[in-house]
A and B are shown apart, each in its own frame.
Chain A
């Protein structure tokens, strides 16, 4: 699963000094270091589980994409913009997969201005389409953090208090061209409880450090493309909610999908209240309150304002609240029993093994990653629960 992303031609790349990372072991062989590097890269993942903390499950996230001149830099292949947009597409998918009841909006900034690419909405398809279209954007001028933040605030400040308000800036340029002092804006953001995170594509910029520190966001700078992806995926997980944010009960509707059977002659195709492609269809989700018809979930009912979700959506965001505990890493020598992974039944060949703290089952690295990233529950624990 950790295949190196396919690179462009080697000679197109920048001047690199790959040999400097390598160190010879006592016998003069490089094998040990190479393995070490591979192993490290596998293990590099988010271990810090939040435990039992309140998370902002309903997220409103604005992603600001820098489209300034510096995005044409070719240190990410084929250039920064294309690479970023490609990664963002997967991010959007992942985001809605993990946070089904959240919304996302896209903003681009270039030439000292900020433009809205897509409005805050819960539909991944629309965003993906917009991102695909954005590949052809001409990158020019300087970005303006101030303007884009301002634009994001315009919509975010109307969001209800129990949802989390977030802005993620992907900044490639090292400068920002602002119409006014950004410190004032940071104060406003702070008072509105907007969390601003930044991913820098080139280097650490002071103003971003201040911005993220003040608003409680995170600031990272990418090392290469895979690191970039990793950093983006960090933002998929919902952030811990600030203790001061309101609690409120939300009314939600669970509409059922009904398809008028073709045999039923009374059935007529009807218009949906909203959707990507408004048109006639036979089946759909009907709002339990007002019976408006929708083709997709989750959505907010246009008629009565009820949040419509399906039960699997809620269940999917559930695991964020009760994350699977990190497995305990220990060297393979200490392990006395049969050296087989409980999940894949393969032999444990790596240097370290991982033990589930509750059922003491042993896993290999690959399975450990798979369990934490995708399954979100230990297969052996489940097994032992259901067996008796």
Chain B
């Protein structure tokens, strides 16, 4: 920043900030001590909600958050000074000024030049409505690391209801009823007012949408806005009764023993037949509940998460008949199979949307599943001064047939082969090795038999072994120890799972990951009903074959895993794919270009010995001193080189290659 203004010779008015949840940004001494995001949200709400603050005017002993008060009093007039803020900077700033960083950040995104936040703030309708709806139309949206964007979209539009949710919902509804009763006795006028407002409908929202001020909310479909809330749920009591009926219906449905899969229209018809609930009121459910909660002045929203979930479910299921499915089996889940529903408003609203990731490959499948027409697609290769990655494909016999990836009838010899590979690698690779398995069960079984065969003991003579578990706290502990072991020269191996936390979010720079080993191809659990439904939908709607999608999904995860090791041009790492199937053209073709480039025929189908020899040679080569000057002109350009005609042409050529 300072460098920039010095170079250009002018001070620029540039504001960039990061936004996160209350949990990460809260500086209130009591609230920030809470451990769970939900608790923090709830507590914050109870301290800052408008009616609480209104109450305080009359009775001063109601606790409020002084940071928020301070911010509300002065913070809005004074904009955040230009600069670049990450979460800690924001917190610091907040502490200094005594303003709430969370609200400050939320307010500041309106005039910030760059905002960095999680996908959910834009894609998840419930949050997007609060946070992102006032973003200017001409903003550029960049989805970085977007290789998983379809899953995020689907998650944000899917609802999962278990019996426990229903039980909690039941108590919620009871409380609602009681509160309504109480308010009716004391303050009947309020309810009347709400009623009137509902008759007028959501006109305001509609006007806003037409003038294009806000980002469209997919939970709030267009039709609703044009109509008034239907009569049978307008009064509070009726609405509660309605909710109760709906709940009972869901409960009865959950009692089934076998798996039921229904499309949305089927589900709606059934619900109409059984408890006489029409489609229309269901649609308004979410909105109506919001309104009710506001009217009833219920402070702790967190407690009502169950009932909110149910009402969202009702709205979603009644609105989107296409591309969703209801699945009843112990738990009831509404799954959205069409990721385009969630992302559509984003495409509609913003001028340019950029989807980018290091492992976005093959490119053409994304426009198909997200249902958009890309303006340009480009995939850049990495220009490296030295070949700093070394992908090797080892030739293990195919261990299992395609369909039952998870059946654990693993041949002993295969396990031993895997073990030998890891053992040999642990002897020649310095510092850290990360090994990825396809699933937890698979990993546990293999590790158990390694233990029996004594392989584990041999490995431990070379390096320490750490294992990722489904438990987050345990895993982060293991990670910490792993890094410590790499740091002080003991060396370590981290055994983890391809779709786990480690594979997605943790970077293994330099010595933390000198080698990544993929045992097997990380296919999703193909027996999952949700996946089956989704595959079916993809085949019917987008003509994408199941096999294609599964391979695509597996390979993007594989690429994601092995990509963990190389996080920069001075970094280097081995990538070992320990499965014969990677050598096939259909798998290889789906790896990102920058990995594909380095796979030549010589690095396919290697035995353990060959792999060891190659790796030894590679590691020695890479350990030779590497200076910045060597990169100049290849992967690092000086200003003159960048401006030269030749280089510009070269860049243009690379961009057009796709």
Contacts and interface: CB of A to CB of B under 8 A. Distances in A.
Contacts of A220: 623-625
B35 interface: no
A243 B489 CA distance: 31
B487 A206 contact: yes
Interface string A11-27: 00011110010000000
A222 interface: yes
Interface in B592-640: 602, 609-610, 613-614, 616, 619-625
Contacts of B511: 205-206, 209
Given A174-B462, A175-B462, A203 B489 contact: no
Contact of B488 (A20, A75, A178): A178
Given A15-B613, A175-B462, A204 B427 contact: no
A284 interface: no
Interface of B: 427-431, 461-463, 486-491, 510-511, 514, 602, 609-610, 613-614, 616, 619-625
* Leading 4 A-B pairs by shortest Cβ distance: A207-B489, A221-B623, A206-B511, A204-B623
B619 A204 contact: yes
A142 B614 CA distance: 24
Nearest to A176: B489
A203 B602 contact: no
13 contacts: A15-B610, A17-B602, A75-B616, A174-B429, A174-B462, A175-B463, A176-B490, A182-B488, A203-B429, A203-B616, A205-B491, A207-B487, A222-B620
B489 A175 contact: yes
Given A174-B491, A178-B490, A220-B624, 18 more contacts: A14-B613, A14-B616, A70-B427, A142-B461, A174-B462, A175-B490, A182-B488, A182-B489, A200-B623, A203-B429, A204-B619, A204-B622, A205-B430, A205-B511, A206-B486, A221-B623, A221-B624, A223-B621
Contact of A174 (B430, B487, B621): B430
A118 interface: no
A146 to B, nearest CB: 9
Interface in A128-182: 142, 145, 174-178, 181-182
Contacts of A222: 620
A268 B455 CA distance: 70
A189 interface: no
B507 to A, nearest CB: 15
A208 B490 CA distance: 11
B508 to A, nearest CB: 12
Contacts of B462: 174-175
A221 B620 contact: yes
A142 B491 CA distance: 12
Contacts of A281: none
A207 B510 CA distance: 12
B489 A202 contact: no
A178 B620 contact: no
In terms of DSSP, what is the predominant structure of the interface of chain B? helix
A183 B486 CA distance: 13
B514 to A, nearest CB: 8
Contacts of B491: 174-175, 205
Given A15-B610, A174-B462, A177-B490, A206 B431 contact: yes
Interface centre among A70, A178, A200, A204 (most CB of B within 10 A): A204
Contacts of A204: 430, 619, 622-623
B613 A16 contact: yes
Find the residue from A15, A176, A200, A222 having the highest chain B CB count within 10 A: A15
Where chain A touches its partner, the secondary structure class is loop
B428 A181 contact: no
A354 to B, nearest CB: 24
Contacts of A223: 620-621, 624
Interface in A240-276: none
A203 B620 contact: yes
Contact of B428 (A177, A202, A208): A202
A20 B622 CA distance: 17
Contacts of B613: 14-16
A222 B614 CA distance: 15
A75 B427 CA distance: 13
Contacts of A174: 427-431, 462, 491
Contacts of B514: 203
Contacts of B427: 70, 174
A221 B427 CA distance: 16
A111 B613 CA distance: 26
Contacts of A17: 602, 614
B619 A202 contact: yes
Contacts of B602: 17, 20
Contacts of A205: 430-431, 489, 491, 511
Contacts of A14: 613, 616
A294 to B, nearest CB: 43
A272 to B, nearest CB: 45
A205 B428 CA distance: 11
Contacts of B431: 174, 205-206
Nearest to A20: B602
Contacts of B609: 15
A39 B625 CA distance: 21
* Max chain A Cβ within 10 angstroms of own Cβ: one of B486, B490, B609, B621: B490
Given A70-B427, A221-B623, A145 B489 contact: yes
Nearest to B572: A204
Contacts of B621: 223
Contacts of B622: 203-204
Given A15-B609, A16-B613, A207 B488 contact: yes
B488 A203 contact: no
A222 B619 CA distance: 10
Nearest to B622: A204
In this complex, the member of B463, B489, B511, B602 whose beta carbon has the largest number of chain A beta carbons within 10 angstroms is B489
Interface in A60-118: 69-70, 75
Contacts of B510: 206
Contacts of A206: 430-431, 486-487, 489, 510-511
Contacts of B487: 206-207
A16 B621 CA distance: 14
Contacts of A16: 613
B566 to A, nearest CB: 15
A16 B491 CA distance: 27
B270 to A, nearest CB: 62
Nearest to A202: B428
Contacts of A175: 462-463, 489-491
A369 to B, nearest CB: 22
B511 to A, nearest CB: 4
B430 A203 contact: yes
Given A15-B609, A16-B613, A203 B463 contact: no
Contacts of B623: 200, 203-204, 220-221
Q: Which of A15, A174, A208 has the most CB of B within 10 A?
A: A174
A145 B489 CA distance: 9
Contacts of A183: 488
B483 to A, nearest CB: 11
A366 to B, nearest CB: 26
Contacts of A209: 511
A142 B489 CA distance: 12
A221 to B, nearest CB: 3
Contacts of B490: 175-178
A378 B27 CA distance: 73
Contacts of B486: 206
A18 B133 CA distance: 62
Contacts of B428: 174, 202-203
Contacts of B430: 174, 202-206
Contacts of A177: 490
A15 B489 CA distance: 28
A205 B620 CA distance: 11
A117 B312 CA distance: 77
Contacts of B489: 145, 175-176, 178, 182, 205-208
Contacts of B616: 14, 75, 202-203
